[in-house]
Amino acid sequence: MKIRITVILILLSFTFTQSFIENLKSQTPIWTGSFGTVVIDGDIYNQISMRPELNYRNWGIGFDFYLYIDANGKLYDETWKFNTVKNTYRTILDKFRYIRYGYPGDQLYFRVGSLTNVTIGNGILVSSYSNAMEYPEEKKIGLQLGKNFPKGIGFDLIVSDFRKTPGLISVILDYPLSPKFNIEFSYCVDINQTGALDDSDDDKVPDFIDDFPNNNNYAIDTDGDGLADELDFDADGDGFDWHIHTDYNSYEEAFANWNSDLQLDPNNIIDNQKDKITFSDLKESVSGLGLSLTYYINENFKFYSEAAKLFSKCEDCILSDGSKWTPGYGLTPFGFRGHYGPFSFKMEYRHSGRHFLYNYWDRAYEINRAILNDINGETRVETKSRQLFEFGKLQGLYLDMGGSFLNIINIGLSYQDLIGEMWNNERWEAKQNNRSFISSIGLNTAKIPRLKYFNGFYQRSNVRNPLDFKNPDENTVYGYNLGVDISESMLLVYKARYSYKFDGLDLDGNSTYKQVYSMFVETQVLF
């Protein structure tokens, strides 16, 4: 029945879309369909999709209708739920690949959909941020909105996701002080980093503490007998009934109405129950204020300075020496950026106080904004903001370069090398390194038969040795995209993403990590 309903909905959507197309005379619409394979939660699904794309004047809209079916013919229905208003809203929103008005730089521009490469200012807080790293397992619908006012004043708004708690909300104000001198203010916030944790039944109780992760009516099973506390006469498993006194104001009243077939629990079940922890209880926000000053030498070269301060509410952010810590500040007193021909470059001198990270919102942020660590059988939630305590006063250089070589290969390289303090369990250690390495590669496929596109990336940030490929951690992400022409109207697409999650401690007390692999294979057909 679910499959039949889903198919009907898709056909109705196609019918509506087709009727709309008939009224669009200004531009021929683009229709692409695909079939292939995806991996979701470790399971392999066959995918069938249709992606109509329409453009009319300044407007553009792209749909994304798809079915995921496993080897047993069972439909993956997490993205086709209409049982509640909230799920209906998410399902409908999920079927839009993007909605666009205008183009970047226009007086008014907005785009609703995936965000793949967002940088604010010169990147001190937000650099190369993406909300699409976990696609197709997690499809996020974000917003980019830009408005240009008279006298060169610019306003921008970024929201990373409307389906769940967004990892990034940012407001940017751009103001020209003179034709060559510009100032930019930015505010960025993740209102709840733990919103990244899984909640399969959407009951506000994270899966890792939800005894019934697929049933939004129940969450707690104190004695582990498979029966929810609300339904269990002996919820704490001590042989005594506790429900008998829940409708009475006192034990005396309960005894006066004693039923010999039931036993009164001498212990208060409220004391015996595990707390029903919700996302509200786990809520831990992080925000940042940024200021950027830019002087344009000419259209190719500019000098700039940046400053930023991070903020986070954390009640138990206390170091082992007893001192309470709060996020700190970062400065880029001097930066130089330019491009010449097919080459671009960027150089910064960086200086930060304790508990600060440059490029806090980066490409991997949606993966590591909140992770679960299993230490000695105890599951702990670790947000990215809590990792700030490791970093002390640091200073050093950041270099970035990229370009096209022989009009065949495009390469981008970024490297950060800071030195200073790092926290080592009990004290600050001097002369420690904090390094980052980010790379990207792409091919100009115009002269390569059959190859439609190829690009890849590697990122590892804020570690002592980012080039230690044998020992990856939660700060390591890499992947690639490959497209091959099968025929004039058919394209084979292969996408792969790799990241790593904490997997406990080994016998020597060292952290271990397991690889998280996301694969997307499909054949696209152009109609």
CATH of 102-192+284-526, one of 2.30.29, 1.10.3470, 2.40.240, 2.40.160: 2.40.160
Higher pLDDT among residues 216 and 230, named by residue: 216
What is the rounded distance in angstroms from the CA atom of residue 165 to the CA atom of residue 144? 16
Q: Average per-residue pLDDT in the chain?
A: 82
Give residue limits of the domains in the chain: 1-101, 102-192+284-526
**Distance of CA 165 to CAs 25, 99, 202, 434, Å?**
39, 20, 12, 30
The whole-number pLDDT of residue 7 equals 32
Q: Are 334 and 307 in contact (CB under 8 A)?
A: no
Is residue 315 packed enough to be buried (19+ CB in 10 Å), middle (13-18) or exposed (0-12)?
A: exposed
* CA-wise closest residue to 216 among 235, 232, 203, 233: 203
Over residues 175-196, mean pLDDT:
94
The whole-number pLDDT of residue 307 equals 98
Least confident of 16-25, 87-96, 400-409, 491-500: 16-25
418-437 pLDDT per residue, tens:
999 998 877 899 999 999 99
The whole-number pLDDT of residue 110 equals 93
The whole-number pLDDT of residue 16 equals 35
pLDDT-based confidence at 297, cuts 50/70/90? Answer: very high
The whole-number pLDDT of residue 126 equals 96
Residue 363 above 90 pLDDT?
no
Higher pLDDT among residues 60 and 138, named by residue: 60
What is the rounded distance in angstroms from the CA atom of residue 371 to the CA atom of residue 380? 8
Give this prediction's pTM.
0.81
- Tokens of residue 143, six digits: 């917003």
Higher pLDDT among residues 320 and 291, named by residue: 291
* Percentage, residues of the chain above pLDDT 70: 84
Higher pLDDT among residues 334 and 81, named by residue: 334
The whole-number pLDDT of residue 265 equals 54
- Tokens of residue 133, six digits: 């790293």
The whole-number pLDDT of residue 449 equals 86
Query: CB 393: neighbour CB atoms within 10 A?
Result: 17
What is the rounded distance in angstroms from the CA atom of residue 131 to the CA atom of residue 129? 7
- Tokens of residue 325, six digits: 């810590």
Break the chain down into helix, strand, coil percent, rounded to 5.
Answer: 15, 50, 40
The whole-number pLDDT of residue 236 equals 63
- Tokens of residue 36, six digits: 């292939």
